[in-house]
């Protein structure tokens, strides 16, 4: 791939309380453009030789070959220039073509997966679909929708941020440990979804390549058997820790408290935005996710009045977040683990990306952090390190097969290659 530009970056330490001199062994970071002139890049997935599949939210699925050449594979409705397209796929608001994943047995079955919003027969949903790709990586065929009932927010609602297309989740990842596909879904501003046994919004699903429930899912009795964990707001990051394959979500909070959580089989993330819960009144459109439903400045003393991201009063056994971004909501959006000696002290730590817009006087959240998670996954005890890379909304962060980190900056239309030295 052609190196278009490169620049050295200093590492800025934001919170050093627990790491002290260890930072001396943090890597120096350089970044270069892996591909640019994209439109709203959302996710990437790699083959071992560096071939990179990527999605653009309002365009479709493409692949960049090791030579640097790009094949446009499958477009959403109304977009030209792709080898094939699906008229039902669309984008609106936060919705569109989102996550992409490659089958663990790709060399045998040539299957890839995409999460996208879809409108068929006037019904809008989010779907996970599977394609087969040809040997030349220039055409996909045999679209098979393996999940076709993930909720979608069709109409605007009265509360702040109430536009259509909100909270879709949309990250899809195969676990290297069990080979199943994990799918994050959002609450769609639907108050009943996260704790519902039947709506599969506000969940982490665990399924096989045909969309069937993974053997061993342990949701509560009566729950949809595809549900691995429930009670989430809008998890848009999911990653598996090297070594123990512990599952971690990254999730944006409502005006406060982005969350990284270790997710256990059958666990409840503790998000329940229904009205008239204990101590809670009515809310616009039966959604209390922005309670107390006003746009006023948020001071720390007010936070107890807001909808908790993890309601431990109602659900004492809920999954406690390992990290809540110091109580701030800055659009935590994606995560992955850094692996390999080239990352020095960051080997085995989690990188988290933010796409925040700096509402309510908080620092703009356009950055990547590195978190050192405890062995039990319940706390982040190490440094929070900010990488002052080119600013932008970080939609995806994926370690590539070359050991470097690839990050998609949505509004720049660029996927960067981040190299440790
Ligand atoms: Ca939670």
Q: Cα 112 to chain center, whole Å?
A: 18
Alpha carbons 152 and 319: distance in angstroms, whole number: 25
pLDDT band at 14 (very low <50, low <70, confident <90, very high): very low
Q: Cα 223 to chain center, whole Å?
A: 23
389 against 231, higher pLDDT: 231
**Residue 269 C-alpha to ligand 1 middle, in angstroms?**
4
Residue 249 has pLDDT above 90, yes or no: yes
**Residue 116 C-alpha to ligand 1 middle, in angstroms?**
24
Q: Which residue has the tokens 């949505």?
A: 410
**Other C-beta atoms within 10 Å of 305: how many?**
9
Task: Decide if 31 contacts 389 (C-beta within 8 A).
Answer: yes
Among 104-113, 129-138, 279-288, 399-408, the least confident range: 279-288
Q: Which residue has the tokens 């309510």?
A: 360
Closest Cα partner for 168 from 115, 102, 239?
115
Backbone angles phi, psi at 74, to 5 degrees: -150, 120
**Residue 318 C-alpha to ligand 1 middle, in angstroms?**
7
Q: What is the pLDDT of residue 363?
A: 55
Q: What is the pLDDT of residue 3?
A: 39
pTM over 0.75: yes
Residue 301 has pLDDT above 70, yes or no: no
Give residue-wise pLDDT tens across range 176-212: 999 999 999 999 999 999 999 999 999 999 999 999 9
**Residue 251 C-alpha to ligand 1 middle, in angstroms?**
8
Residue 167 has pLDDT above 90, yes or no: yes
Backbone angles phi, psi at 93, to 5 degrees: 60, -130
pLDDT band at 18 (very low <50, low <70, confident <90, very high): very low
Residue 12 has pLDDT above 70, yes or no: no
- Percent of the chain whose pLDDT exceeds 70: 87
Among 87-96, 108-117, 248-257, the least confident range: 248-257
Ordered alpha helix ranges (H), 103-195: 106-109
What is the C-alpha end-to-end distance of the chain, expressed in Å?
Answer: 19
Mean pLDDT of the chain: 89
Task: Decide if 43 contacts 98 (C-beta within 8 A).
Answer: yes
Alpha carbons 346 and 252: distance in angstroms, whole number: 23
**Residue 186 C-alpha to ligand 1 middle, in angstroms?**
12
Give residue-wise pLDDT tens across range 311-345: 999 999 999 999 998 888 888 999 999 999 999 99
Question: What is the CA angle 402-353-342, rounded to 5?
Answer: 30
351 against 160, higher pLDDT: 351
User: Mapping DSSP to helix (H, G, I), strand (E, B) and coil, where does residue 66 land?
Assistant: coil
- HEC string of 389-417 equals CCCCCEEEEEECCCCCEEEEECCCCEEEE
What does the block give as tokens for 286?
Answer: 């039966």
111-120, 160-169, 345-354 — most confident range: 111-120
Q: What is the pLDDT of residue 147?
A: 98
Q: What is the pLDDT of residue 364?
A: 65
13 against 324, higher pLDDT: 324
- pLDDT, average across residues 292-300: 54
User: Mapping DSSP to helix (H, G, I), strand (E, B) and coil, where does residue 128 land?
Assistant: strand
Residue 10 has pLDDT above 50, yes or no: no
pLDDT band at 303 (very low <50, low <70, confident <90, very high): low
Give residue-wise pLDDT tens across range 349-407: 999 998 876 554 445 667 888 999 999 999 997 666 666 555 678 999 999 999 999 99
| Cis ω for the linkage preceding 292 (within 30 of 0) | yes
- pLDDT, average across residues 13-22: 39
Q: What is the pLDDT of residue 24?
A: 54
**Residue 126 C-alpha to ligand 1 middle, in angstroms?**
22
**Residue 328 C-alpha to ligand 1 middle, in angstroms?**
14
**Residue 213 C-alpha to ligand 1 middle, in angstroms?**
23
Alpha carbons 287 and 162: distance in angstroms, whole number: 10
- pLDDT, average across residues 81-108: 98
**Residue 159 C-alpha to ligand 1 middle, in angstroms?**
21
**Residue 410 C-alpha to ligand 1 middle, in angstroms?**
26
Task: Decide if 237 contacts 247 (C-beta within 8 A).
Answer: no
pLDDT band at 279 (very low <50, low <70, confident <90, very high): confident
Q: What is the pLDDT of residue 393?
A: 86
Q: Which residue has the tokens 């982040």?
A: 380
In CATH, what number does 6-420 get? 2.120.10.30
**Residue 94 C-alpha to ligand 1 middle, in angstroms?**
21
CA distances (Å), origin 117, targets 40, 44, 60, 240, 295: 15, 17, 11, 25, 29
Alpha carbons 392 and 415: distance in angstroms, whole number: 11
**Residue 166 C-alpha to ligand 1 middle, in angstroms?**
18
Closest Cα partner for 406 from 357, 368, 356?
368
**Residue 260 C-alpha to ligand 1 middle, in angstroms?**
8
Helix (H) or strand (E) holding 168: none
Task: Decide if 180 contacts 190 (C-beta within 8 A).
Answer: no
Residues 6+ apart with CB under 8 A from 137: 51, 63, 65, 71
**Residue 163 C-alpha to ligand 1 middle, in angstroms?**
23
Residues around ion ligand 1, judged by CB within 5 A, are 269-270, 309-310
**Residue 21 C-alpha to ligand 1 middle, in angstroms?**
32
**Residue 74 C-alpha to ligand 1 middle, in angstroms?**
35
What does the block give as tokens for 220?
Answer: 């509560």
**Residue 80 C-alpha to ligand 1 middle, in angstroms?**
40
**Residue 321 C-alpha to ligand 1 middle, in angstroms?**
6
What does the block give as tokens for 203?
Answer: 């969940």
Task: Decide if 313 contacts 305 (C-beta within 8 A).
Answer: no
pLDDT band at 68 (very low <50, low <70, confident <90, very high): very high
What does the block give as tokens for 322?
Answer: 């390992």
**Residue 63 C-alpha to ligand 1 middle, in angstroms?**
34
**Residue 249 C-alpha to ligand 1 middle, in angstroms?**
10
Q: Is 259 exposed, middle or buried (0-12, 13-18, 19+ CB in 10 A)?
A: buried
């Amino acid at each position: 791939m052609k190196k278009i530009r490169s620049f050295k970056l200093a590492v800025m330490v934001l919170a050093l309380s627990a790491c002290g001199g260890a930072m001396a062994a943090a890597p120096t970071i350089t970044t270069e453009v892996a591909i640019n002139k994209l439109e709203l890049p959302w996710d990437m997935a790699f083959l071992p030789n560096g071939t990179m599949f990527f999605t653009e939210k309002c365009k479709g699925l493409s692949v960049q070959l090791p030579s640097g050449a790009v094949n446009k594979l499958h477009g959403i409705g109304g977009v030209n220039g792709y080898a094939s397209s699906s008229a039902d796929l669309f984008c609106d608001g936060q919705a569109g073509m989102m996550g992409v994943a490659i089958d663990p047995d790709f060399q045998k079955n040539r299957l890839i997966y995409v999460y996208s919003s879809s409108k068929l027969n006037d019904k809008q949903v989010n779907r996970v679909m599977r394609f087969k790709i040809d040997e030349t990586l220039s055409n996909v065929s045999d679209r098979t929708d393996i999940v076709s009932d993930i909720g979608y927010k069709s109409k605007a609602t009265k509360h702040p941020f109430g536009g259509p297309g909100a909270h879709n989740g949309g990250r899809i990842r195969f676990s290297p440990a069990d080979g199943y596909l994990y799918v994050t879904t959002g609450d769609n501003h639907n108050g009943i979804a996260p704790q519902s046994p039947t709506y599969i919004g506000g969940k982490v699903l665990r399924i096989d390549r045909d969309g069937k429930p993974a053997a061993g899912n342990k949701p509560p009795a009566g729950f949809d058997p595809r549900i691995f964990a429930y009670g989430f707001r809008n998890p848009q990051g999911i990653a598996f820790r090297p070594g123990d394959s512990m599952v971690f979500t990254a999730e944006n909070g409502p005006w406060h408290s982005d969350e990284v959580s270790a997710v256990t089989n059958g666990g409840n993330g503790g998000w329940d935005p229904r009205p008239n819960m204990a101590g809670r009144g009515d809310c616009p459109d039966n959604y209390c996710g922005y309670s107390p439903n006003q746009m006023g400045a948020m001071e720390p003393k007010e936070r107890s009045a807001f909808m908790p991201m993890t309601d431990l009063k109602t659900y004492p056994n809920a999954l406690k977040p390992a990290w809540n971004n110091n109580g701030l909501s800055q659009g935590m959006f994606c995560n992955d683990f850094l692996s390999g000696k080239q990352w020095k002290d960051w080997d085995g730590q989690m990188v988290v990306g933010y796409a925040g817009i700096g509402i309510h006087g908080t620092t703009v959240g356009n950055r990547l952090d590195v978190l050192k998670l405890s062995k039990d996954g319940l706390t982040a005890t190490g440094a929070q390190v900010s990488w002052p890379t080119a600013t932008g909304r970080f939609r995806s962060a994926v370690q590539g097969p070359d050991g470097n980190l690839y990050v998609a900056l949505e509004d720049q239309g660029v996927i960067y290659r981040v190299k440790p030295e």
